[in-house]
Amino acid sequence: MIPVVIIEGPTASGKSALAMALAEHLGSQIISADSRQVYKYLDIGTAKPGLDDRKRIAHHLIDFLEPSEAYNAGAYVKDAGKICLSLDEQGLVPIICGGTGLYIRSLLEGLCKLPPIPSGVKEELLEELGRSSLACLYDELCQVDPISAAKISSNDKQRILRALEVYRFTGKALSQHWQEQKSQEAYLAFRILIAPPRELLYTRIEKRLDLMLEQGLLDEIHGVMQMGYTEYDPGLNSVGYKEFIPFLKGELSLNEAMVIAKQHSRNYAKRQITWYRKQSFDLTIPSSDFNLSDINRLLSEKLGASAS
């Protein structure tokens, strides 16, 4: 198995600072697990590492896609996996850092390979949803696939429909597909969660947005749109960008746009926190203030000589 260190946490929790410190200490490199930092030109609003940091420590999987291009967990698993293997062959422990939990879970657990679902199955479920309710479909999922249902919110329409599509077409629960396809783990991971108190986190989020405006976020958005990209492209259709486009179009005041952006950012952090509650970590720290010696000792205990 390839030893890796993974640093996770909600937005503005302080992941990058710890990743830099550990990468310098271990003489290693950082692999981003951020679904927005993959895009070129979007620097300020994604809190992308600065050029000085990238000169000190090599960073991977940032700045390589156009804002109009789509990216997903499957592509991330393939791309990050190649980099992890390359670093391991050089005797380096990859430092994976980011808040896109699905990317990290997919990398560690793999992706479930399923047959294409015919459109008729999907259409039938959508018709049922229109006739009844999402609660009824969720109740059905609880009966046919209680393991998947326990991991899905009763309000998550997309995932409920997907799990039922798989069951109805294949005759097997999605959780059973996962169990059958679960391969031997490829990574020996030491997972760190940075989890500040919620009120402190929300304050940091709001202050960071204020700073982003001072650093030129509006000019960044305007410049990217001048290149021909729109609010419908994946890069700009994300928290921290899409909220300010109505202001640039003259549809909202800057204050109104900022209020919405801060609210959406807090909501995003809340969703991340909920996600992390369902994950397992080797170390949870309550703030970006960390003791590198203590972390290194724990790393060495789990990863052995690779982390020393």
- The pLDDT, as a whole number, for residue 78 is 95
Query: Is the pLDDT at 298 greater than 60, yes or no?
Result: yes
pLDDT at 243: 98
Closest CA to 97 of 4, 13, 19: 19
Please give the pLDDT value at position 182: 64
Task: Say if residues 54 and 19 touch (Cβ distance below 8 Å).
Answer: no
Q: What percent of the chain has pLDDT over 90?
A: 85
pLDDT above 70 as % of the chain: 97
CATH 1.10.20.140 fits 119-181, yes or no: yes
- Given a cut of 80, whether residue 151 has pLDDT beyond it is yes
The encoded tokens of residue 165 equal 């599509």
Q: pLDDT (tens digit, 9 = 90+) per residue, 80-137?
A: 999 999 999 999 999 999 999 999 999 998 877 788 899 999 999 999 999 999 999 9
User: pLDDT band for position 291 (50/70/90)?
Assistant: confident
* pTM of structure: 0.83
pLDDT in tens, 3-62: 999 999 999 999 999 999 999 999 999 999 999 999 999 999 999 999 999 999 999 999
Q: Evaluate whether 43 touches 228 at the Cβ level (below 8 Å).
A: no
The residue type of 64 is: F
What is residue 115's predicted lDDT score, i.e. its pLDDT?
Answer: 84
Give the pLDDT band of residue 304 (cuts 50, 70, 90): confident
Name the residue with tokens 């809190």: 47
pLDDT category, 279, cuts 50, 70, 90?
very high
Closest CA relative to residue 166, chosen from 118, 101, 237:
118
Backbone angles phi, psi at 218, to 5 degrees: -65, -40
Q: Decide if pLDDT at 288 tops 70.
A: no
- Topology at the third CATH level for domain 2-110+184-307: Rossmann fold (3.40.50)
**Weakest-pLDDT range from 180-184, 220-224, 271-275:** 180-184
Q: What are phi and psi of 94, to 5 degrees?
A: -60, 140
Q: What is the pLDDT of residue 2?
A: 95
Q: How many other CB atoms are found less than 10 A from the CB of residue 198?
A: 13
Task: Count the alpha carbons within 13 Å of 89 in the hemisphere toward its beta carbon.
Answer: 6
pLDDT at 184 over 70: no
pLDDT at 303: 87
pLDDT value at position 306?
67
Whether the predicted pLDDT of 65 surpasses 70 = yes
The residue extents of the domains of the chain are: 2-110+184-307, 119-181
Please state, in angstroms and as integers, the Cα–Cα distance from residue 1 to each residue in 185, 241, 274, 282, following that order.
7, 39, 29, 17
